[in-house]
Structure 1
């Protein structure tokens, strides 16, 4: 069911595009290869258990947490345009 000037299925296309964008973003952040023994930011030693669990890791837990915290923010483009998403 389309509303206004949109065609049938336009809302689902927007939802699919949003999901594809997020999957591509998540895949681009995956690391691989040999893990560093010391953090690239603070030079703290990275525990062996962390290096084995996350191949290609370059940051200690503290620096990784700080990086992830700084990356969280607005979700980008509001494609849905719902009232709930506009109130955030």
Structure 2
């Protein structure tokens, strides 16, 4: 059932679009290419097992953990349009 002026299935289309956007962002962040033997940040050796498990790795485990912690969360778009979300 559509709400207001929205067409039938509009809510599901918004959900699908949000999921597609998140998948696209995640895939864009995957490493590509040849793995490095030493970390770009601290120049520590990257273990062979890590280089084989994850192609295109550029950081050691410690630096990757630090980067993951510091990475800001992507908020995306406000597609709900609810009154509550507009007040923030």
- Runs of 4+ more than 6 Å apart: none
Paired residues for 1:13-52 under 5 Å: 13-52=13-52
**Counterpart of 1:12 in 2: which secondary structure?**
helix
Unaligned stretches of 5+ residues in structure 2? none
Q: Which has the higher contact order (CA 8 A, sep 6+)?
A: 1
- Aligned residue pairs: how many? 84
For 1:45, what is the secondary structure of its paired residue? Answer: coil
How large is the RMSD of aligned CA atoms in angstroms?
1.9
1:51-62 mapped onto 2 (5 Å cutoff): 51-62=51-62
TM-score (norm 1): 0.81
| TM-score, normalization by structure 2 | 0.81
Deviation for aligned residue 1:72:
4.1
Tell me, yes or no, if structure 1 residue 68 matches structure 2 residue 68. yes
Q: Give CA deviations for 1:23-70 in whole Å, capped at 9, x if unaligned.
A: 111111122221111100111111111111111100011111111122
Partner of 2:79: 79
